[in-house]
Amino acid sequence: MSPETFRSAMARLAGAVTLVTARHEGADVGMTATAFLPVSAEPPLVLVSVGRPARMHRVLRATSYWGVSLLARHQRDLAANFARPSADDDGTRFDGLPLLRGPHTGVSLVDGALARFECRTYRMVDAGDHILIVGAVLGVDLASGGEPLLYFERDYRTLS
């Protein structure tokens, strides 16, 4: 099976859109991710999958603390901005965004996101061309409502 055939099949799996963030060398770094899922409720653990070529791969290997913002349907532009390759980053991706600093980690989190998770790396697993990063959840902040932004068939979607 070719990698493209596999990617085409996986494009049919709808996924919640998140922004994964960390601080590295005094700067905020972020990437859009749909490969985010719960692992355990006790202790609370989550998992994010990051491709090896991504800058975030190197950042998450170098730092222990990171955050995940579960994006709402109105945050499509934010998701698209952080989905661009890091080589396109001119250092302004975070400018003007509605951000909060996580009280447990200091990482940037998106104000208006459906949920925000602050994590400490619990375990890393090499998996093919990706790394799976399991995070111990240090804190969660929930929005009072809203609908998720989804990714399906290589495009952003909403429930309605």
List the structure tokens of 154: 């290589």
- pLDDT tens-digit profile of 30-51? 999 999 999 999 999 999 999 9
**Does the structure show a pLDDT above 70 at 91?**
no
Query: Could you give all domains of the chain from N- to C-terminal order, each with its CATH number?
Result: 3-157 (2.30.110.10)
Cα separation, 148 vs 65, in Å, equals 24
**Does the structure show a pLDDT above 70 at 89?**
no
- pLDDT tens-digit profile of 120-137? 999 999 999 999 999 999
Using a 10 angstrom Cβ sphere, with 0-12 exposed, 13-18 middle and 19 or more buried, the burial of residue 25 is: exposed
